[in-house]
Every structure is written in structure tokens, then in C-alpha cells.
Amino acid sequence: MSNWLSVQNLSVDFMVGGGLAPAVLRALRSVSIDIEKGTVFGIVGESGCGKSTLARVLSGLTAPTDGQVLLDGKPLGMDRDKAQRRRIQMVFQDPGSSLNPAMSVCRMLSQLLSFHQIVPRDQIEARCRALMAQVNMPVDALDKKPGSLSGGQRQRIAIARALALEPEILIADEPTAALDVSVQASVLNLLSDLIRDLGMTMIFISHDMAVVRRVCDRMAVMYLGQIVETGPTGAVFEDPRHPYTNALMAAVPRLVPRAAGDYQMLKSEQPSPLARIEGCTFRGRCPKAGPVCATLAPVLDGGAHRVSCHFPRAGTNPVTEGSSHGH
């Protein structure tokens, strides 16, 4: 597996509370991901699992406490130069606040085009129009300010802003969470088409499992700052190994109702990310937790489809249960 974009042992701690006894919020706990060029990598998890923090580290908005991000084998830190910044762009969750309300679409795009000298000055306007066409927006939207655009239109403009820099990697942080179903479909289609046509790599962050299944080639499931399961999207959905993945999938409402008793509902709620938990972070909610889970943290293990659990669900494919028997 090529590791074009490689996240290695990334940890992010935030100090919260301040004062004499600041608490440490462990947003990311040693996360490693390898992403192949030209693929879509999905990251799913519930609020507070660290998926947005991961996006912010990748896009250079948040400094990692430990670990590094490698692109083409070269480290990508916070102090990126102009050319490095251009390579990774991001589409944010809330189209209400991700566009400057005081700036017209045209000014916003031209500022970026001229700052990065993407096209000669006299071609900026033509490029702006081309970008509008790329995101299926009428050209007259260029003169508008975000206030007069609908949510779906704003998200298209936000995508155009990212595309303006011709990035190699597009990070989409819950790009459709604020949109209606009918609009979500058009934005998802647009993103898929762009990835296919432009050969971009996309990191797609979402809490919506159904959307991830449609869009992503590979995926990772996060819980409390850690990856608990990762693999090809089809494999993870059809054969979820981690009890959390299993519960997450089961909890998603479906159009074709499942038979009753098909899954176990998760007890209680996610512990606070401030809590210090010995052993497996999921054990408090896990139906399978045993004594070993309280003392020993499981390690993400396996081949292409890896899982971090002492008692992974026996899958249709053999899985190396190195962590549960190795000690």
C-alpha cells in the first residue's frame, strides 16, 4: 500500500480550564493513517471523537502535540509556505460561517487566485467564471455576497474556493451536515465528480454512516481520539469487527427496518475526553468487555482491515488477533 499522505502517531492535547490545575483534553491519541493518492478516505465517529481535530491538524490549523504528517515523504507542519498550503484545502461544515459575509464571491476568489499567482492577472475573471461552472453555479453568483445565497449554494462556493487553489488534497469536514437531504445529494454528487475528474485525494469527515458508505474508498472509525477500526469501506460496513463500529452501524436508522434484537444498543454515553481511562477507552460501554480490557489497551492490528480490540467479532475473513493473544 502506498503511503502518499501519511499520518504518524499523531497526538493532540488541549489544556482546558487553566488556573492552577489545568486539565488535559486528549483530542487525538496516537493516530496513524496512510492514504493513497486519488482515493477518498472517510473518517467517521461521534462528536468529541477527534475527527475534526484531525482535519485541523492536516490543514495546518492546529499544531500536533506529538507525531507528524508526511506528504510524499516530506513532513508537513504548522509552518507551511504558500506552496505547501495550496496542496491541502478544506471545505468546512457550516456554510453559514465559512464564507466571509462582507466579501463578494468574486473578490474572495480573485484574492486567492492573485495571491497564489495561479493565473495571470488578466485571466482572473475568466478563471472565476470557470470555477462557477465547475461547481454548477450561475455566473451571476460571482457578484453576490454569501447572505443572498442558500445553504447549498454557499457550500458550492466554499468548494469553489478550495478548488481555486488547485489542491491535491481536499478535506471535507461534514460538508453536508447542515444541508437538507435534497441539497445534500447534489453537493455529494459534485464532490464525487470533482474527485474523479480532477484526480484529487479527499479526506471525508462525517458522522453520517450512509454518506460515508457512498463516498469513500477506505475509512476509519474513531472513538475518543483513537482509531478503533480501519479498512476498505465495503469490508468495514459488511463485516464490522469492533463492537463500537458494530453498534454505530446498528444505531443508524434505516429505510428497511432491521429485525428486532439484531443488535445490542450501547449502554450509557461516551466518557468525557478529560477522563483518564486505563486499558480500552470503549470498555465502559462495551458488551464484550473482559478483565483484560481494563488493564491493557488494545492495539490497532490486522492486515488491510485493522481493528483495535481484544475481542473482535469473528469476521468472514480470518483476522490476526495479535493484540488479544500476544501478551
Partner 1 sequence: MTDQSGFTAPTEAPAVRAPRKRLPGKARFGLAIIGLYFLAGIFGPMLLPFDPDAANILQRLRPPSAQHWLGTDQLGRDFLARLLYAIRIDLPVAFLAAFFPMLIGTALGAVAGFFGRIPDIVVSRSADIVQAFPVYVFLLVLVFALGSGATSFILAATVIAWVGYARLVRGEVMRLREMEFVAAARVSGLPPLRILATHVLPNALPQTLIYFMSDIVMMVLVLSSLSFLGVGIQPPTAEWGRMIAEGQPFLRSQWILSVAPGLMLMVFGIALSLVADGLDEWSRK
Partner 2 sequence: MTRILEIADLRVDLSRAERRVSPVGPVDLWLDAGECLGIVGESGSGKSLTLKAILDLLPDGLTRGTGTQKIAQGGRLVPTDPRSLRGAKISMISQEPAAALDPLMRIGDLIGEIVRHHSGCSWAEARLRAVDLLRRVGVPDPETRARFWPHELSGGLKQRVVISMALACQSDMLLCDEPTTALDVTIQAQIVDLLRDLQVNDGLGLIFVTHDLALIRQIADRICIMYAGLIVETGPSSEIFSNPQHPYTRALLAALPDIEQSEGRLVPIEGTPPAPTAFPQGCRFGPRCPRASDVCRQTAPALLATEDAQDVKVACHHTGDVT
Q: Per residue in 54-88, is it b (16+ CB within 10 Å) or e — as a string? A: bbbbbbbebebeebebebeeeebeeeeeeeeebbb
DSSP state of 4: S
* Strand residues in the chain grouped as ranges (E): 5-16, 23-35, 40-44, 66-71, 74-75, 88-91, 169-173, 201-206, 218-223, 226-232, 306-307
x-or-dash pattern for partner 1, window 11-50, by CB under 8 A?
----------------------------------------
Rounded Cα distance, 155 and 99, in Å:
9
Choose among 90, 84, 112: nearest CA to 159: 90
Query: Which residues in the 91-110 window bind partner 1 by CB under 8 A?
Result: 92-94, 96-103
Q: Least distance to partner 2 from the beta carbon of 166, Å?
A: 26
Q: Which helix (H) or strand (E) holds 86?
A: helix 82-87
For position 184 contacting partner 2 by CB under 8 A, the verdict is yes
According to the binding rule CB under 8 A, does residue 288 interact with partner 2? Answer: no
By the 8 A CB rule, do 313 and 243 touch?
yes
Q: How many CA atoms lie within 13 A of 39 on its CB side?
A: 18
The one of partner 1, partner 2, none whose footprint includes residue 37, by CB under 5 to 8 A per kind, is none
Rank residues 188 and 195 by Cβ distance to partner 2 and give the closer one: 188
> Is residue 61 a contact residue for partner 1 (CB under 8 A)?
yes
- With contact defined as beta carbons under 8 Å apart, do 1 and 31 qualify? no
String marking each residue 254-273 x if it binds partner 2 according to CB under 8 A:
xxxx-------xx-xxx---
73 lines the binding site for partner 2 (CB under 8 A) = no
Q: Which residue has the cell 487566485?
A: 113
Stretches 8-16, 57-65, 102-110, 253-261: which one binds partner 2 (CB under 8 A)?
Answer: 253-261
Q: Is 15 in the site for partner 2 (CB under 8 A)?
A: no
Total residues binding partner 2 (CB under 8 A): 39
Binding site for partner 2 (CB under 8 A): 46-47, 150, 152, 180-186, 188-189, 207-211, 213-214, 233-234, 237, 247-257, 265-266, 268-270
Binding site for partner 1 (CB under 8 A): 56, 59-61, 80-82, 85-86, 88-90, 92-94, 96-103, 111-112, 115-116, 144-148, 158, 161, 165
